[in-house]
């Protein structure tokens, strides 16, 4: 015969037998995390790790575009001048423009086969260079320029550079195919000059943005606002 509840209480204590067999301790209610839409202004803050990751990707795109530009102008076009055109400078490398006589010498140095390879350069490296470079510049200025009006001015210059670069390649192909066309040669020369002027503006924009970023970082550091810094009292 089993013991009664009173006997169990005397033998094992007051709380003995009060818990039901097989019962498990009550679990704490699970707290649902607050949704973004339920947060009040000021409670939602950007995560520093995500911002730093975006900055790294933008920096990589920027330097890849710059490296591709250097490769195109210092290696590819120099190779066109030396190997394909017999030492006649490629018109894209002449920042001050070129004459009809120079383009005629360049076309004569290329010959039929060289002209085909020259057009192939424009369809490959000459196509990807402005696109990737301008993409890196767009991302770099967009991430680091908080003023909307200034950002749009920077983007306009970058996009115009890409358009002038690509249109200039097409016009150059037509001018090299027919160097006797004075108007085509003059247009090609003007686009090359515009390309270099716009490139100088792109460099200036990159310097301005880099200086402003450095200045903001120094100001945040002095005020203790950088991630991981202890706020100053």
Residue 50 has pLDDT above 70, yes or no: no
Structure tokens at 1: 């015969």
Tell me, rounded to whole angstroms, the distance of Cα 150 from its chain centroid. 18
Q: Is 33 exposed, middle or buried (0-12, 13-18, 19+ CB in 10 A)?
A: exposed
Whether 18 shows a pLDDT value over 70: the answer reads no
The confidence score (pLDDT) of residue 229 equals: 58
Under a CB-based contact definition with an 8 Å cutoff, are residues 109 and 85 in contact? yes
Of 22 and 132, the structure prediction assigns the larger pLDDT to 132
Quote the mean pLDDT of the chain: 84
Residue with the bigger pLDDT between 43 and 196: it is: 196
H-helix segments, 124-181: 125-144, 148-177
pLDDT at position 37: 47
Tens of pLDDT along 59-95? 899 999 999 999 999 999 999 999 999 999 999 999 9
Cα distances from 101 to residues 104, 106, 186, in angstroms, run 5, 9, 11
Per the CB < 8 A criterion, the answer to whether 193 and 97 are in contact is: yes
CA 47 vs CA 43, 78, 136, 166, 190: distances in Å:
12, 46, 23, 39, 48
* HSE-CB for 139 with a 13 A CA cutoff: 17
H or E element that contains 214: helix 182-222
Helix (H, G, I), strand (E, B) or coil at 228: coil
The string of pLDDT tens digits covering residues 171-190 is 999 999 999 999 999 999 99
pLDDT tops 80 at residue 109: yes
224 backbone dihedrals φ, ψ, rounded to 5°? 70, 30
Is the per-residue pLDDT at 41 higher than 70?
no
Q: For the ranges 28-32, 96-100, 206-210, which has the lowest average pLDDT?
A: 28-32
The better pLDDT of the pair 35, 125 is held by 125
Average pLDDT over residues 207-217: 89
Q: Looking at the predicted structure, is the pLDDT value of residue 20 above 90?
A: no
**Separation of alpha carbons 19 and 128, rounded Å:** 76
Token digits of residue 11? 């033998």
Q: Which residue has the higher pLDDT, 137 or 31?
A: 137
Whether 77 and 159 have beta carbons less than 8 Å apart is answered as no
Task: Give the start-to-end residue ranges of the domains of the chain.
Answer: 50-222
**In this predicted model, what pLDDT tens digit does every residue of 123-163 receive, in sequence order?**
999 999 999 999 999 999 999 999 999 999 999 999 999 99
- 86-104 pLDDT, tens digit per residue, is 999 999 999 999 999 999 9
């Amino acid at each position: 015969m089993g013991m009664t509840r009173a006997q169990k209480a005397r033998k094992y204590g007051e709380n003995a037998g009060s818990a039901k067999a097989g019962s498990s301790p009550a679990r704490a209610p699970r707290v649902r995390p607050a949704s973004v839409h339920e947060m009040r202004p000021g409670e939602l803050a950007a995560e520093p790790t995500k911002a730093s990751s975006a900055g790294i990707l933008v920096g990589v795109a920027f330097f890849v575009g710059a490296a591709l530009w250097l490769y195109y102008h210092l290696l590819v076009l120099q190779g066109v001048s030396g190997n394909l055109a017999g030492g006649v400078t490629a018109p894209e490398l002449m920042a001050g423009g070129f004459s009809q006589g120079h383009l005629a010498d360049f076309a004569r140095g290329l010959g039929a086969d060289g002209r085909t390879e020259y057009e192939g350069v424009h369809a490959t490296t000459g196509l990807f260079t402005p696109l990737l470079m301008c993409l890196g510049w767009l991302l770099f200025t967009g991430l680091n320029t908080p003023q909307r009006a200034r950002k749009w001015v920077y983007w306009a210059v970058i996009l115009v550079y890409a358009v002038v670069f690509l249109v200039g390649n097409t016009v150059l192909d037509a001018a090299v195919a027919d160097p006797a066309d004075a108007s085509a040669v003059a247009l090609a020369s003007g686009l090359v000059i515009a390309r270099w002027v716009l490139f100088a503006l792109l460099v200036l924009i990159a310097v301005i943005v880099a200086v402003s970023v450095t200045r903001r970082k120094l100001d945040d550091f002095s005020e203790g606002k950088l991630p991981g810094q202890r706020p100053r009292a």
